Amino acid sequence: MSKTALVTGAASGLGYELAFLLIKDDYNLVLVDIDAPKLKEVKQFFNKTYKNTVTILVKDLSQPDVAQEIYNEVKQLPVIDVLVNNAGFGLFGTFANTDWKRESEMLHLHVLTTTHLTKLILPAMISRESGKILNISSLAAFQPGPMMSMYYASKSYILSFSEAIANELKGTGVTVTALCPGPTKTLFQQTVSSNCSENKISFNMACPTDVAQYGYNAMKRGKTVAIPGVFNKFLSTIPRFVTRNMATRIVRNIQEKNRA
């Protein structure tokens, strides 16, 4: 009997790559994204190759109460075996000058929607003593990030939240994995700021297919924190060896060079 996975931000990037890995593993899919045309393209592509059920939900995940809307539409399904909280975006600029409406949407998406959707789906997983949750955090979660302060802070929340509930769930049959990739070649880079289509510092730019495979394997093993790439693992440890002030200055320098 096929299992079912729910993936947010599934129309492109890591969300699409993870959905592809899941359907290849015989999962039925519930794909959620704001981009209706791309979501339909993904469904059509999957339906040409796989017999699994693909359900699409066009939702703006940055809006209040959207997690409840999604849950109301999927709770009629037998079970959700895998939840992938992937959807996200970034915003570049000093906190005093960035747009609050957009920042509020980012916080709703990264923090409230991710948390609420997990809250709604997790109890049934615990009752079945089976389930996996993959939350997409970032290498940004390990230090403060001037010029992208709220993005870094929200990704830190995802990491901390994931680690905490992973500990609470030990012995239940349910696992939580936080995937913390570094810079990845997806549409994310094009939405960070209007005057920048890609990172200027691109030597550490990862392939989304490789990042998704790494995260997917980590989720299947029940690993709590997954950082793809040896260099990224090293970068995640820098705050342990230098002062937080110095780490913050380094991040600001990188951000300003990237977005200049």
Structure tokens at 7: 């993936």
Provide the pLDDT for residue 183: 80
Q: Which of 14, 46, 77 has its CA nearest to residue 226? A: 14
Pairing between β-strand 174-179 and β-strand 82-85 as defined by DSSP bridges: unpaired
Q: CA separation (Å) from 225 to 57, 164, 184, 222? A: 28, 11, 17, 9
Distance CA 45, CA 91 (A): 31
Distance CA 222, CA 131 (A): 10
Q: Which of 134, 20, 142 has its CA nearest to residue 85? A: 134
pLDDT digit of tens for each residue in the chain (260 aa)?
A: 679 999 999 999 999 999 999 999 999 999 999 999 999 999 999 999 999 999 999 999 999 999 999 999 998 888 999 999 999 999 999 999 999 999 999 999 999 999 999 999 999 999 999 999 999 999 999 988 898 999 999 999 999 999 999 999 999 999 999 999 988 776 544 444 444 344 444 555 679 999 999 999 999 999 999 999 888 888 777 777 777 777 677 767 776 666 55
Distance CA 243, CA 69 (A): 44
Q: How many domains does the chain have?
A: 1
Provide the pLDDT for residue 230: 87
pTM of the predicted protein model: 0.88
Provide the pLDDT for residue 241: 72
The residue written with tokens 């880079």 in the block is: 189
DSSP 78-102: S---EEEE-------S-TTTS-HHH
- Under 8 Å between Cβ of 107 and 157: no
Domain that holds residue 64: 3-259
User: Residues for the chain: how many in total?
Assistant: 260
Helix axes 230-241, 244-259, angle to 10 degrees: 130
Strand residue runs (E) in the chain: 3-8, 27-33, 54-58, 82-85, 131-136, 174-179, 225-226
Q: What is the CATH number of the domain that holds 17?
A: 3.40.50.720
